[in-house]
Structure 1
């Protein structure tokens, strides 16, 4: 995750070197925007739109940046959350995810998210989603960071570990009874 300008936060999954390239593009964009010195700064909608064009352009050159991006922000009281895939497919919604999160976490978010969710309840919901994802991917790490975006700026927590329970009987021999398993 990385703060972008004054109003946005960018998160990514995928290739780290491609994410660094995207951050380089964004640093140039923010620098160019600041050079106008007009008191205005790019908001999350503008940054998201720029990222959709970058990802789609690289896709058309058959040299995609292998990342899925999530951009959130607040500017002038307007909250924004959007995502962009490596081929430029993008949308905005009240909750977004990348990778397996689209399949496993978004159904939980659709069921439990509501407009008046407090920050603490939102963190608990996110931890629930991340725990489900962790239990489904044995190579995942149980550490995460939480970011909070307000009009005053972006704060990112220190990494912390999720509490997990690995003593479920289904975890002892997951292939037991599976047809055709080794």
Structure 2
């Protein structure tokens, strides 16, 4: 149990930022096993759930993959049956239910996962965190999850976020947050993935754009 919790605490930094015209989500690309071994330098930690909903992930990889597969399948079935697009809140509650059930199964290996869910529906833009215990928190500003780098991230977010930020400003802040975590946390690194969700839809930022922002700093 203690080893699984270490993996969650030391292998990822992800962030979600609420802007006046959208949501920005970002994550590093390094996956580590234990406290020192780098298992993957191109790990995907931001996943598309629906056209309008994305999720960042932290935790035990196998559990993360299973929860995402189950959630995507259930939401797709709901969409077909009801002929309506699931809301961000519905997607978040489904994630939370699966996580809650997973950690309470009798097993010698504890399933540990944590998610940041962001998106847009008929109610507007939303940002939630699903904790490792299946709890749900609604954020109107920002949230970060994962490794020790998240503590560093909060310092930047507390100082620089404001409710009138545009997604362009949020994009630059998200890159700065993850890049700073990379510099200070050895288990975070190997690049930055960023997704911007606005009124035009969701855009997965190309690596060249992220690098331009880094060079501009």
Q: 1:75 to 1:104 in 2, by over 3 A?
A: same
Larger fraction in strand: 2
Q: Is the 8 A contact 1:8 1:74 kept in 2?
A: yes
Q: Deviations over 1:23-74 (max 9, x none)?
A: 2111221221122153x11011111111111111212224553221110001
- Out of 102, 105, 110, the residue aligned to residue 158 of structure 2 is 110
Alignment counterpart, residue 143 of structure 2, candidates 92, 96, 99? 96
Q: Hey, what does 1:129 align to over in structure 2?
A: 177
1:139–1:57: structure 2 CA closer, same or farther, 3 Å change rule?
Answer: closer
The unaligned stretches of length 5 or more in structure 2 are 1-45
State whether residues 64 and 113 of structure 2, in contact with CA within 8 Å, keep that contact through their aligned partners in structure 1.
Answer: yes
List alignment gaps of at least 5 residues for structure 1: 165-182
2:199 and 2:70 mapped to 1: Cα distance? 24
What RMSD in Å do the two structures reach over aligned CA positions?
Answer: 2.2
1:81 aligns with 2:127: yes
Matching residue of 1:11: 56
Q: TM-score, normalised by structure 2?
A: 0.67
Cα deviation code 1:70-103 (max 9, x no counterpart): 1000112511001112221331212111123442
State the alpha-carbon separation in 2 of the partners of residues 138 and 78 from structure 1: 37
- Aligned mates of 2:81, 2:71 — CA distance in 1: 16
Q: Secondary structure at the match of 1:72?
A: strand
SS at match of 1:126: helix
Bigger RCO (CA 8 Å, 6+ sep): 2
Question: Is the Cα contact below 8 Å between 2:118 and 2:127 reproduced in 1?
Answer: yes
Which residue matches 1:177?
none
TM-score under structure 1 length normalisation: 0.78
Question: Is this contact kept in 2: 1:69–1:84, CA < 8 A?
Answer: yes
